[in-house]
Amino acid sequence: MNKLRPALGIFGGTFDPVHYGHIKPVIDAAQQAGVQSVAMLPCHIPVHKDLAPSAAKHRLAMLKLAIECYPQLYIDDREIHTSAPSYTIHTLQALRAEYPRHPLCFFIGMDSLHSLATWHEWQALFDYCHFVVCCRPGSQTTLSKELQQLLNERQVMTNNALHNALYGKIFLADTPLLAISSTDIRQHIQQGLSTNNMVDPKVRAYIQTHKLYQPSTTF
């Protein structure tokens, strides 16, 4: 068997807008997982959420601004340029075809791990990627019986296993909880409240310039 190539990370979301709660946990989790490169994957039509309030071009532009200072992050815009719903399984299949010898590490939050069984063809996901879970210390003490069984079968305690297999493992990374959500940011903007500690200054300037998330904004 050919030697495996360096692991690639993937982190998806609507990023509407992108904020520190997206960026900082992924940076920390990638360091713990030993993943040197993470693709930020903005989706066009989310499956588990309402449609994004702002246009794809704005979300993509804000994401580019937000990651300028993080060389380990880059943008994969394949989902945002399609008219089909963004099913993770389809994206992973495409990535696996492109990177047959790279372990793929899909980054999610603990809330997404809890709801993983609702994802389209969720069991097949483990045939294409590992999962790196951003979770605050101690959060895994409240797991359901089904989720605990999944962890018993697939959790690894060190990151070596992520680099020695192409797929199939779960790695829990202890990352700080940042109580920030895109919904909260949009509400703050609508109410004229500060978002200084929530979003990158360049993203905040972009929002102001393009008058995003204001009650009178139309797209």
User: Quick one: pLDDT at residue 140?
Assistant: 58
Say whether pTM exceeds 0.75. Answer: yes
Average confidence (pLDDT) over 149-159: 96
User: Quick one: pLDDT at residue 52?
Assistant: 64
Those residues with Cβ within 8 angstroms of residue 145's Cβ, 6 or more apart along the chain or in another chain: none
**Contact call for residues 40 and 61 (beta carbons, < 8 A):** no
Lowest mean pLDDT among 62-66, 105-109, 127-131, 140-144: 140-144
User: Which domains occur in the chain, in start order?
Assistant: 8-209 (3.40.50.620)
CB half-sphere exposure, 14, CA atoms < 13 A: 17
The DSSP code sequence of 25-50 is: HHHHHHHHHT---EEEEE-SS-SSSP
User: Quick one: pLDDT at residue 144?
Assistant: 84
User: Quick one: pLDDT at residue 218?
Assistant: 47
pLDDT digits (tens, 9 = 90+) for 41-87: 999 876 655 666 788 999 999 999 999 999 999 999 999 988 778 89
Please report which confidence band the pLDDT of residue 206 belongs to, taking 50, 70 and 90 as the band edges.
very high
